[in-house]
Structure 1
Amino acid sequence: MDDIIEHRYAVAEPSGRIAWVSKGPYLYVACDDTVRDDTHYVDVATGEIQPKRPLEMHQGIEALKVTLAGLPAGLTVATNGMDTVTDGTPLVITYDLPGTYEIRLSGHIEYLDRVEEVTVDDA
């Protein structure tokens, strides 16, 4: 289990007087009103808020198989009732029936969530 790092914070009044001191496992980073949890992340190495990047991947379809290459490790992939987490190697998804399916790519800190639509057939 990872050791939890506690951070200490001084909560100050507008005058500068410290109202109380708090501690907890979370980082508090000042931001403006354009920052949202689904479009930005905190680079913990620099303490700076960064915009999430779009996923760049290569997709191949062969009969009932879809291959997704170039995905970062730690990305959740969900489709047709199946969920998995990527490990940085190409992901092969095999469908049972021809059709059009949604592939949901989500949960990576540095990348925007994305939904891909794929059509497979048994030819």
Structure 2
Amino acid sequence: MRVIIRTISLSLMASPVFAGPYDGTYKQTANSECALVGVDGGAVRIAEGIFYGVEAECRMSDPVNVLDMDALLYTMQCSGEDQQFTERAMVMDKAEDDGIIMVWNGYAFVYDRCNPDPFAAATQDE
């Protein structure tokens, strides 16, 4: 029995990570440098369940569909600048153009997708 449980546990840990619906690199402003992620004036990135923001990384877990909306509500387990915190954030595709809207408690951010995504080729090769 232990062998079976250990085998299942090891196979789950070795499972590949799949791209999420919002994976990509996004501009913080219209003239952001898409190759610079996580700094002011650069871009933010979502990849394999992690949001890379300005000087912070957040693991996006427990997605919940938002009723009557094409959106997901995530639990964001964040760390950065010697801090750790957990918050909720809702993410959805923009109605027009290619990008996302991310809503935190009291804040809404609109991000346009970087085209071409400077990290897309590296992600596909892995």
TM-score (normalizing by structure 2): 0.25
Q: Which of the pair has more CA radius of gyration?
A: 1
TM-score (normalizing by structure 1): 0.25
* Structure that is richer in helix per residue: 2
